[in-house]
Amino acid sequence: MADLVRRKLEVRLCADPLGRVSDPWADFRQVEIINIEKRFTYRHSLGKVSRFFLELEQGRLFAAACPRCAQVWLPPRPVCPHDLAITTWRELSGKGTVAAFTTCPKTPHYIWGQEPLVLAYVDLEGASTLFLHQLRNYGDPSRLKVGLLVRAVFSQEPVDHPLELFWFEPEVTGSRTSPGGRVPYSQARAGGRDGLTSEEGLL
């Protein structure tokens, strides 16, 4: 008999993972797999950090600076978590160095970029925190390393989400100790420069 369910992908028989002679779940080992597509539409406010995303459309990278402790937060935070002061906006150069990175052999269908997909923590000039984002157009994967010089590159094409408006690319061949001669983020953590953890650099 022909399948009457259009979305049916397959029917498989799953073995008992414990390999028991008498399987108490034997009558339930037949599994039907179907394809279900769901689409959801949300209206989502970007709130107090909206300027960060709006500036990306203009090809500019902004962070939030604390007027009291001078920490510069990226991703931006409307209120400094150290002293609860309201922050102010500050433009960054978009240049930095790779502090850590990871690669994924396959790029998810909803993310544009070359394979393997590379996500990097970038120590940006003028920022007190690391920023995690996609690294593209890196050429030979063997050139990827901690300390690689990178810069923010902005999209000239329409995108679906503001975070797709920019990514990082290698700036030049080489590496340096830290952006702008600053102490590398990893050393700052070890030395207690600002008491931040890598998680605190994220929203």
Tell me: the pLDDT tens digits for 39-84?
A: 888 888 889 999 999 999 999 999 999 999 999 999 999 999 999 9
One DSSP character per residue, 55-80 reads HHHTT-EEEEE-TTT--EESS--SB-
Q: Under a CB-based contact definition with an 8 Å cutoff, are residues 138 and 102 in contact?
A: no
Give the distance from CA 73 to its chain's centroid: 16
Reply yes or no on whether the pLDDT at 184 is more than 70.
no
Weakest-pLDDT range from 2-16, 75-89, 155-169, 188-202: 188-202
Residues 159/163/166/171 CA torsion (nearest 10 deg)? -150
30 domain residue, yes or no:
no
Range of the domain at 71: 49-192
Average pLDDT, the chain: 83
Between 123 and 42, the higher pLDDT residue: 123
First to last CA, the chain: 54
CA pair distance 60, 164, nearest whole angstrom: 13
| Distances from the Cα of 112 to the Cα of 38, 104, 171, 192, angstroms | 21, 13, 20, 38
Look at the block and give the residue holding tokens 């107090």: 48
What's the number of domains the chain is made of?
1
pLDDT above 90: percentage of residues in the chain: 50
- Residue 198 is assigned to a structural domain of this protein: no
Res 102 pLDDT > 90: yes
For residue 174, tell me if it sits in a domain: yes
For the chain, list the strands marked E by DSSP: 8-13, 30-34, 61-65, 72-73, 88-92, 95-104, 117-124, 130-135, 148-154, 166-175
On the question of pLDDT at 12 being above 80, the answer is yes
- 169 falls within a domain: yes
Q: Is the pLDDT of residue 23 over 70?
A: yes
Mean pLDDT of 163-184: 65
Let me know if residue 2 belongs to a domain. no
Whether the pLDDT of residue 34 is over 80: the answer is yes
| Joined tokens for residue 149 | 């010089």
